[in-house]
Structure 1
Amino acid sequence: MTVRAVQRTSLVDAATAELRRLIGEGEWPVGAKLPNEIELSKLLGVGRSTAREAVRALISAGQLYSQQGSGTYVASATPLSDLDRRLRRAAVIDVYEVRVALEVEAGSLAAARRTTADLKALRKALAARDRAGSLPELLDADVAFHRAVVVAAHNPVLTEVFDSFLDALRAVATSLTTLDTGEESTTDHHRAHHDLVAAIEAGDPDGAAQATRRNVEHTLTQLRQG
């Protein structure tokens, strides 16, 4: 990793700019976990308080998000636009209704456009979701799985919009942890993920759209009932 030396004038701003550059250049892609505060301060050559303020600045800008007990993760490769900021302030259910439409289309496109590399990534993401041993692991694996589907659609605008929803999606997932979903509903939700991958692999856009709708509408129904 090539890191530019941080100047001693306006250290917080300089450290923030350096973190933003590293994220923008893909050193930490969307979804990646940042080093802890001590490691970051050593990496940037600044004090821990400066590293902490730089991270806070990027959290405020929407490029990073903090997950209690887990760490800090990349939410966006670039600073948020005004639209992105509005999305993050929108009601969770409003954002999720848009997500349903977005992912149904993404699933359909993925079935028509997926590559061998996409299928490999989808199987890997599905396996990670299946073996998640805790709720935080499942939430992270689920977001990663759905992003892999969107990426397989090969539409950069869909991917960008989905990435702008990441904070809201995690907020949805957290809000649902206290809801009783029922064993039958949970089993069907799990099966829908496998059906989605099977439809994409088979090149079946209609089947992928149906599996996606079963998948994401499961959560939307919970939100409306909760």
Structure 2
Amino acid sequence: MSTQRSLRTTLVAGILGAAVFAASAPALAETPPGAEPAGSNAVATAQGLVLDLTHVGLAPIPVASLPVPVGEPGGTADPIAVPVPAPTDVLRIGNVQVGRPDVIPPEQAAQFNATLGGAETSLARMLDGQGFEPARSDQIAASVFGKAAQGAAVGAIVASPIAVAAGIIGAAVGLVVALPFAPAGLIFMPIIASTLAAGMVIAPFAAIGAGVGAVVGGIEGAQAPLPAP
């Protein structure tokens, strides 16, 4: 009985040694002369290894998890950069920031900022490809988006009196069109017609203002001094 137990112990030790040698052999073979063997690779490979010894009458033996060295000897691991979350209390358009209205949820504000931020980054990278310095490209892109937003707002304000008149006329026309569909049509048609009429007036003015603002922003961004690093 003791002889059989000794045989099993010898088999277990031999298999463990063979497994560790097999895990470390590639790393040792690729180690250039004079360099330290990549022992951490062997340790990492051996982690989680389970030896199936059922064919010799023993239960599977999991190899104990060993600590894997991280970073340089005696050093610490490099810190992991934590992404800065998009602001949710402001709406950012280029170099223009406005407070988030209460009617806009924080999630939508973050999505709005992320979408426009990605478009601004794409414009800056395009300018990099045209030979601009990265700092100048970022400044031009931020100025273009900011001035475009301001121009669109100015255009909408300029068009607002005309849009109000167009909305009133649209509501009246929608009411006349909805009479054959009363009573349900009287609720929806005037609102839809008024919204379409006002939007058709505001949209061109806002688009013109955004275009002019983008041109002005591009010129200002190209000529303005860069901020101090």
Taking structure 2 as the reference length, the TM-score comes to 0.24
Q: Which has the higher helix share?
A: 1
Taking structure 1 as the reference length, the TM-score comes to 0.24
Indicate the structure whose relative CO is greater, using CA pairs within 8 Å and at least 6 residues apart: 1
